[in-house]
A = this chain, B = another copy of it.
Amino acid sequence: MTLAPVLDRIDADMPAALERLLDLLRIPSISTDPAFKPDCDRAADWMVADLASMGFEARKCPTPGHPMVVAHYPGPEGAPHLLFYGHYDVQPVDPLHLWDRDPFDPEVQQDGGRTVIRGRGAADDKGQLMTFVEAFRAWIAVHGALPARITVFLEGEEESGSPSLIPFMQEHADELRCDLAIICDTGMFESRVPAITTMLRGLLGEELTVRAANKDLHSGSFGGAAANPIRILARALASLHDETGRITIAGFYDDVPELPDALRAQWQGLAFDHAKFLGDVGLALPAGEVGRTPLEMLWSRPTCEINGIWGGYTGAGFKTVLPAEAHAKVSFRLVGQQDPWKLREAFRDHIRAHIPADCSVEFHGHGNAPASVMPVDNPAFERARAALTEEWGVPAAYIGCGGSIPIAGYFQGILGMDAMLIGFGKDDDQIHSPNEKYDLESFHKGIRSWARILARIAD
């Protein structure tokens, strides 16, 4: 089966491919908010129907949360069996007033000389997962078949901690186990260099509620005498970092390796523009550990961030209240061999030590995953790298990633398969932020990249 007509077919089919993507983006499949449960279900149905329409044996698999989509397509005798992973759920859209248009009324726009697809999920991850789906469609349209045996596995809980993922993978291990898992949820390096991500940080999410008095108190009647849970919370959270930006939780750095010199040298060769990286979002000063570069912080150092905080009176005007409770959401990015379960307990112990004896704190875990390092000695990595280099005309790079894609670790740990992460996101895609977009270039050349990768790996 030859590649050239597939690439031609992809080019010719772009208008229709864009219409399909816009249709999928119109479904507000926000997985973390129970109000959007029917929409998540609808997005799964959409994927099943689309995959079935091109000949996949596709089905929606219920879970206690949002459904999985699993689809299979046979390949030639002796061809490798590849699993492609993506997620059809999206992040919440608040603050809504900062969006230039309805996040779920997507459109193709001109933006500073580039053509972009604007809408929630355009880059993370609907636009990305449709790159491999469209590549399959073109192969089948041209050759009546795919050059490899393919399994598609789509999740609907990636943006909400993937609570159903591990049990589902365990229960369907035989069905999902292939020669290689391919994950399309990452980006290019510096928005121009095609990249295979080989290091991923882990994630630990925690929510805490500090409780003091058994009701809201008047700060005139009780202020200065009674405990204020916001003060206690602020103090406990402020204690999580020292003056040099290091995290103070006992044992936190025990399993954090220093970067090997060779990798450090390769990363330095990437000529990452630190000033531009921060300048693009209106900042200027590296905010992490003193003496480490932003790239090192992002790819190889663990972090502790407060992602949300609330308590007391937050409306218009003023209320002199000492609230009964205060809340925060805290997350950790993990690296190396850091153990999320061990660190969860260490974090909770650290916070508890800051709670007065007559107050209390309650914790709620929001998912966790260890960090992952990919096996670049698997031959598929070099084949994919060659295919990417060919499509983009720039040598493709192995890079790290500050984000957490827990499933990469699960493929290794639960199914015993290697995983390869390739995606076409750009730094200004504004994923998780208002006005998310995906470049038309990412979408178009992304589809073409998969066609080339399929050809090389199946060869």
Contact partner of A305 (CB less than 8 A), chosen from B223, B241, B302, is B223
Q: Restricting to A298-328, which residues have a CB under 8 Å from any CB of B?
A: 298, 301-303, 305-323, 326-328
Q: Restricting to A339-364, which residues have a CB under 8 Å from any CB of B?
A: 356-359
A227 at interface by CB-CB < 8 Å: yes
Cβ B333 vs Cβ A219 within 8 A: yes
Which residues of the partner chain B approach A219 to less than 8 Å between Cβ atoms? 303, 305, 307, 331, 333
A383 at interface by CB-CB < 8 Å: no
Cβ A224 vs Cβ B310 within 8 A: no
Compute how far the CA of A301 lies from the CA of B225 in the bound complex, rounded to whole angstroms: 10
Which of A205, A301, A331 gathers the greatest number of chain B CB atoms within 10 Å? A331
Given A231-B305, A312-B307, A313-B308, A318–B286 Cβ distance below 8 Å?
no
A281 at interface by CB-CB < 8 Å: yes
A57 at interface by CB-CB < 8 Å: no
Cβ B402 vs Cβ A287 within 8 A: no
Which residues of the partner chain B approach A218 to less than 8 Å between Cβ atoms? 403, 431-433
Compute how far the CA of A333 lies from the CA of B203 in the bound complex, rounded to whole angstroms: 42
A270 at interface by CB-CB < 8 Å: no
Contact partner of A312 (CB less than 8 A), chosen from B311, B315, B329, B367, is B329
Mask, A9-44, CB within 8 Å of B = 1, is 000000000000000000000011110000000000
Cβ B285 vs Cβ A356 within 8 A: yes
Which residues of the partner chain B approach A302 to less than 8 Å between Cβ atoms? 224
Which of A91, A311, A329, A359 gathers the greatest number of chain B CB atoms within 10 Å? A329
Compute how far the CA of A222 lies from the CA of B91 in the bound complex, rounded to whole angstroms: 16
Cβ A320 vs Cβ B331 within 8 A: yes
Compute how far the CA of A331 lies from the CA of B231 in the bound complex, rounded to whole angstroms: 12
Among the stretches A68-76, A174-182, A209-217, A408-416, the one at the interface with B is A209-217
Q: Restricting to A399-444, which residues have a CB under 8 Å from any CB of B?
A: 401-404, 427, 430-434
Smallest CB separation, A283 vs chain B (Å): 5
Among the stretches A112-120, A164-172, A232-240, A258-266, the one at the interface with B is A232-240
A-side interface size class: 35 or more
Cβ A308 vs Cβ B308 within 8 A: no
Which residues of the partner chain B approach A226 to less than 8 Å between Cβ atoms? 278, 281, 283, 287, 294
Which residues of the partner chain B approach A220 to less than 8 Å between Cβ atoms? 201, 203, 333, 401-404
Complex: chain B residue closest to A433, CB-CB: B216
Compute how far the CA of A151 lies from the CA of B75 in the bound complex, rounded to whole angstroms: 94
Compute how far the CA of A283 lies from the CA of B283 in the bound complex, rounded to whole angstroms: 43
Contact partner of A308 (CB less than 8 A), chosen from B303, B319, B401, is B319
Cβ A433 vs Cβ B310 within 8 A: no
Mask, A253-295, CB within 8 Å of B = 1, is 0000000000000000000000001100111111111000011
A198 at interface by CB-CB < 8 Å: no
A221 at interface by CB-CB < 8 Å: yes
Cβ A281 vs Cβ B215 within 8 A: yes
A160 at interface by CB-CB < 8 Å: yes
Could you pull out 17 A-B pairs where Cβ atoms are within 8 angstroms? A32-B318, A34-B316, A217-B433, A220-B401, A221-B427, A223-B298, A224-B298, A224-B333, A225-B286, A227-B283, A228-B305, A230-B306, A237-B238, A307-B321, A308-B314, A310-B314, A319-B432
Q: A161-B317, A314-B329 are in contact. List 13 more A-B contacts (CB 8 A).
A: A32-B316, A34-B316, A91-B319, A94-B313, A203-B320, A205-B320, A213-B281, A220-B402, A222-B298, A284-B357, A308-B323, A318-B367, A319-B432
Q: 10 shortest A-B CB distances, which residue pairs?
A: A220-B403, A32-B317, A214-B282, A224-B303, A238-B238, A308-B312, A225-B294, A284-B358, A230-B306, A213-B281
Residues of chain A at the chain B interface (Cβ within 8 Å): 31-34, 91-92, 94-95, 98, 159-161, 201, 203, 205, 207, 212-228, 230-231, 233-235, 237-239, 241, 277-278, 281-289, 294-295, 297-298, 301-303, 305-323, 326-329, 331, 333, 356-359, 366-367, 401-404, 427, 430-434
